[in-house]
Amino acid sequence: MLVRQTLKPSPSQQQRRPKIPALPLDDFKIVYSPQAGLKLAKWNIVTSIHASGRASGLSQRDFNDKVRVQVQRAEYLISVSTAAKEDAKKLVSIKRIQLGGNFYNVNCNVRTPDDVSRGVINGLIPGTSTAELMAGIRAPARYTVLHARMLNQSIPAVVFFEGPHVPYYIIFQSIDFRCRPYR
């Protein structure tokens, strides 16, 4: 006797939702994270986008034509993307947005481009300046150092490299430092 088995989709297959489309690769990407008091889930997405547009100083038409916005309610993030450098400068300058008559402070971070990798080195002197880091860092020939900065006032530094890979070791002021991928 043959028994027919019905296969039920697994819970992970049932709950799959389509991902938000990726922002354009070559654009400048800025991420805003609201500070205490602003809960994005309470606001309509269009209202949040209009608030970002007003705060940038761009006309509503320019903002709609040149800027792409994604609101991630669960993570409380607003991601903004634009191809124009001047518009990106205006978007980076946003420190607060107005929603419903109240002003809310936001932290602004420029996302690293997709073709840039980050490594971290430990054991540096706290307070080392970016200029000192850039002058003292040497990487193997196949790696290009784009930028380096200290993580707040602590001992690790983040080094930005062109391309998808991070070297195992870099030299800072004639000392070899292990460079680990920064997550």
Task: Please check whether residue 38 is in contact with residue 45, taking contact to mean a CB–CB distance below 8 angstroms.
Answer: no
Above 70 in pLDDT, residue 7? no
Cβ-based neighbours of 41, under 8 Å, separated by 6 or more: 73, 74, 76
Look at residue 171 in the predicted model and tell me its pLDDT: 93
Contact (CB, 8 A) for 167 and 159 = no
Mean pLDDT of the chain: 84
Give the model's pLDDT for residue 2.
57
pTM of the predicted model, to two decimals? Answer: 0.60
Please give the Cα distance from 94 to 103 (Å, whole number): 12
Under the banding of pLDDT at 50, 70 and 90, the label for residue 129 is: confident
Q: What is the pLDDT of residues 70-126, one digit of tens each?
A: 887 777 788 889 888 888 888 888 888 888 888 888 888 777 777 788 999 998 988
Winning range, highest mean pLDDT, from 76-85, 142-151, 172-181:
172-181
Under 8 Å between Cβ of 160 and 147: yes
Residue with structure tokens 């790696």?
143
Q: Please report, for the chain, the start and end positions of each structural domain, with discontinuous segments joined by +.
A: 28-110, 116-181
DSSP strand pairing (67-72 vs 102-110): unpaired
Confidence of residue 46 (pLDDT cuts 50, 70, 90): confident
Q: How confident is the model at residue 19 (pLDDT cuts 50, 70, 90)?
A: confident
Does 28-110 carry CATH code 3.30.70.330?
yes
Model confidence at 143, pLDDT cuts 50, 70, 90, reads very high
